[in-house]
Structure 1
Amino acid sequence: MPDKPAAEVQVHEQLVRALISSQATAIPDAATLPLAHAADGWDCSVWRLGDDFAVRLPRRALSAPLVLHEQAVLPSIAARLAPSGVGVPAPIVSGRPELGYPWPWSVVPWFDGTAGLGIPRADRAGWATPLAEALLALHVPAPPDHPVNSVRGVPLARRADAVAGRMESLRGRVSDVVLERAGGLWAAGLHAPPWSGGPRWIHGDLHPGNLIARGSHLVAIIDFGDVTGGDPAYDLAVAWLAFDQAGRSSFRAAAGDGYDEATWTRAHAWAAAFTLLLLDRTDDDPEYATLAADALQELSG
Structure 2
Amino acid sequence: MIDVALAEGLLQAQFPQWAGLPLRLVEKAGSDHVIFRLGDELAVRLPRHEGAIGQAKKESVWLPRLAPALPLAVPEPVAVGRPGLGYPWHWSVARWLDGEVATLDLADSWEAAETLAAFLDALQRFPVAGAPREGDDLLPRRDRATREAIASVAGVFDTGAMTAVWQAALDVPAWAGPPVWFHGDFHIGNVLMSKGRVSAVIDFGGLGVGDPARDMMMAFTLMSAGSRAVFREALGADDATWARGRGWALAAGLNAYCSYAKTDARVAAQTTRQINETLTDLRLSFGGG
Partner of 1:74: 63
Q: What is the CA deviation profile of residues 71-95 of structure 1, one whole-angstrom value per residue up to 9, with x for unaligned ones?
A: 22222222221xx1x1111311222
What is the CA–CA distance in structure 1 between the aligned matches of 2:256 and 2:49, rounded to whole Å? 23
User: Unaligned regions of 5+ residues in structure 2, if any?
Assistant: 282-289
Structure 1 residues 44 and 192, CA gap change in structure 2 (3 angstroms): same
- Superposition deviation, residue 55 in structure 1: 0.8
Q: Given that residues 108 and 226 in structure 2 are in contact (C-alpha distance below 8 angstroms), is that contact kept between their aligned partners in structure 1?
A: no
Secondary structure of the residue that 1:237 maps to in structure 2? helix
1:16 aligns with 2:2: no
TM-score, reference length from structure 1: 0.80
Q: How does 1:25-174 map to 2 (within 5 A)?
A: 30-39=18-27, 41-81=30-70, 84=71, 86-98=72-84, 101-116=87-102, 118-122=103-107, 124-140=109-125, 142-143=128-129, 146-150=132-136, 153-154=137-138, 156-171=139-154, 173-174=155-156
Secondary structure of the residue that 1:94 maps to in structure 2? strand
Structure 1 residues 23 and 129, CA gap change in structure 2 (3 angstroms): farther
Paired residue total? 277
- Superposition deviation, residue 199 in structure 1: 2.7
Partner amino acid, structure 2, of 1:266: R
- Superposition deviation, residue 243 in structure 1: 0.3
1:203 aligns with 2:183: yes
- Superposition deviation, residue 263 in structure 1: 1.0
Structure 1 residues 215 and 190, CA gap change in structure 2 (3 angstroms): farther
Q: What is the CA deviation profile of residues 48-76 of structure 1, one whole-angstrom value per residue up to 9, with x for unaligned ones?
A: 01222111122344432232222222222
Partner of 1:5: none
Partner amino acid, structure 2, of 1:57: L
Partner amino acid, structure 2, of 1:212: L
- Superposition deviation, residue 125 in structure 1: 4.1
Q: Which has the higher contact order (CA 8 A, sep 6+)?
A: 1
Q: Given that residues 56 and 80 in structure 2 are in contact (C-alpha distance below 8 angstroms), is that contact kept between their aligned partners in structure 1?
A: no
Structure 1 residues 47 and 184, CA gap change in structure 2 (3 angstroms): same
Q: What is the CA deviation profile of residues 238-284 of structure 1, one whole-angstrom value per residue up to 9, with x for unaligned ones?
A: 112210122212222332x3x33321121122223233334444512
User: Unaligned regions of 5+ residues in structure 1, if any?
Assistant: 1-9
Q: Given that residues 124 and 215 in structure 1 are in contact (C-alpha distance below 8 angstroms), is that contact kept between their aligned partners in structure 2?
A: no
What is the CA–CA distance in structure 2 between the aligned matches of 1:104 and 1:143, rounded to whole Å? 25
Q: Given that residues 151 and 159 in structure 2 are in contact (C-alpha distance below 8 angstroms), is that contact kept between their aligned partners in structure 1?
A: no
What is the CA–CA distance in structure 2 between the aligned matches of 1:235 and 1:91, rounded to whole Å? 23
Q: How well do the aligned residues superpose, as a CA RMSD in angstroms?
A: 2.6
Q: How does 1:156-235 map to 2 (within 5 A)?
A: 156-171=139-154, 173-175=155-157, 178-214=158-194, 216-235=196-215
- Superposition deviation, residue 208 in structure 1: 0.8
User: Which among 187, 201, 217 is matched to residue 237 of structure 1?
Assistant: 217
Q: Given that residues 121 and 244 in structure 1 are in contact (C-alpha distance below 8 angstroms), is that contact kept between their aligned partners in structure 2?
A: no
